[in-house]
Copies of this chain bind each other. A is one copy, B any other.
Amino acid sequence: MSALVHQEPVPELSNGPDITLEELQLAARNHSMPLEALQYPITPVGMHYLLTHFDIPRIDPAEWRLTIGGRVRHPFTLTLEDVKGRPAVTRAVTLECAGNGRAKLSPRPISQPWLFEAVGNAEWTGTPLRPILEEAGPLDDAVDVVFTGLDRGVQGGIEQQYERSLRLTEASREDLFLAYAVNGQPLPPQHGFPLRLVVPGWYGMTHVKWLRSITVVNRPFRGYQQEPAYHVTSSEDELGEPVTRILPRSLMLPPGIPDFLPRSRRLGLGTWVLEGRAWSGQGRVVRVEVSTDGGRSWMDAELGEDGGDFAWRSWRSPWVVAQEGEYELCCRATDATGSVQPLTTRWNAQGMCNNQVQRITVVVGEQLVPVQPPVDGIP
């Protein structure tokens, strides 16, 4: 992908640093994971990031059907009870929006203005996809498997259902499944009730929500969300490379307490533990490094229990703070393929896959501001 990456702004996208009211409409609807949710190995519902392209459909589970068809020998239809009656798997899977980090690009591509927190690690329950495809029996000319959602709208000047495809070989991987529960509860509407696709390791756009059909086709699918959307490209004139698997990223649980608006952190002198989580869809996380000087020097963090192939991994690093002042904390992950988070922006026209390191400003000092006296006598 590095061949497509460059640092030059493209003139027609010279957006200022500020967010337009149109972008705010998306930022107000969709939400990221508050960074303090990094404390939880499994992200609670409501703290998991959420991106909805169109509207969240309201679906009557009694009326809902999943159709499996197209270039298959045995097309068939499943009710929700049918789906739940099939073999079940439960897996913790880290999902991240492909546009995570977009608002940090300059000039900023206009779309959902994510900072770095469009992520979550929930425990999804569903039934494996492969046996469903096998029962349908793709014909010899099968190429792509298209997953169509019930959410409808206009994007890029085209009216559409939300739909994305995978190559048949990728769709037939053992670890894909159709989820009807999250964290032990039925899917809430916003996460795709009654059924969504889960594709461990891939960015969020692939995990089609409100699934209504699975269609095998005999040529590469070229619907809007497949092409031109979700491509890493240096200009809008060229297609570029499709977004697929999640690049490595680490995030830090911000230490200390926040200042309401700048969200900078306040901390006293002492010994603290810096901690957070890291993930990659390309391979397991093998290293996390921490910097307390804005990336000028790095130390290895201790890695926690491996979350398995598809879930994030915890990390921690003690930090002794002996001197007051302002610190810039960073962390960066390396995965088993040797891929490392970059320090600087990888600009691209759609604002995809920006896995540059997070930076947290911490102001260290005793009694920096007046403290409101405790009214209840509890310090």
Contact = CB atoms under 8 A, between A and B. Distances in A.
A188 interface: yes
A257 B159 contact: yes
Interface stretch (A146-154, A199-207, A231-239, A276-284): A146-154
B190 A44 contact: yes
A27 to B, nearest CB: 4
A338 interface: no
Interface residues of A, number: 89
A208 B372 CA distance: 17
Interface string A337-379: 0000000000000000000000000000000111110111110
A157 interface: yes
Interface in A126-165: 146, 148, 152-161, 163
Interface in A58-115: 58, 67, 69-70, 103, 110-111, 113-115
A344 to B, nearest CB: 17
Interface string A212-227: 1101010001011000
Given A148-B374, A156-B260, 4 more contacts: A26-B261, A34-B55, A148-B375, A154-B260
23 contacts: A17-B20, A19-B21, A24-B27, A28-B31, A28-B115, A30-B31, A31-B50, A36-B57, A37-B189, A39-B58, A44-B189, A46-B190, A47-B190, A69-B376, A148-B374, A148-B375, A154-B257, A154-B260, A154-B369, A158-B370, A163-B372, A212-B376, A217-B375
